[in-house]
Amino acid sequence: MYCSLMFRHYVIPFLLEAAAVLATFMGIHSLADYLQLQVVWVYCY
């Protein structure tokens, strides 16, 4: 439970920001959408 909580509060936002920065830098919006879907799925799971 604690590990899951840590994961959601620290890793998830980091992945979202990393994906957004990567998409902005490279201009690959489809990649950003794909990563966001994966992150949302993991978060909801």
Q: Does the pTM of the predicted model rise above 0.75?
A: no
Residue 23: which of 41, 39, 5, 1 has the closest Cα?
A: 39
Give the pLDDT confidence score for residue 37 in this predicted structure.
73
Q: 3-31 pLDDT, tens per residue?
A: 677 666 788 788 888 877 877 777 666 66
Do 4 and 45 meet the contact criterion of CB atoms below 8 Å apart?
no
DSSP character string of 30-42: HHHHHHHHHHHHH
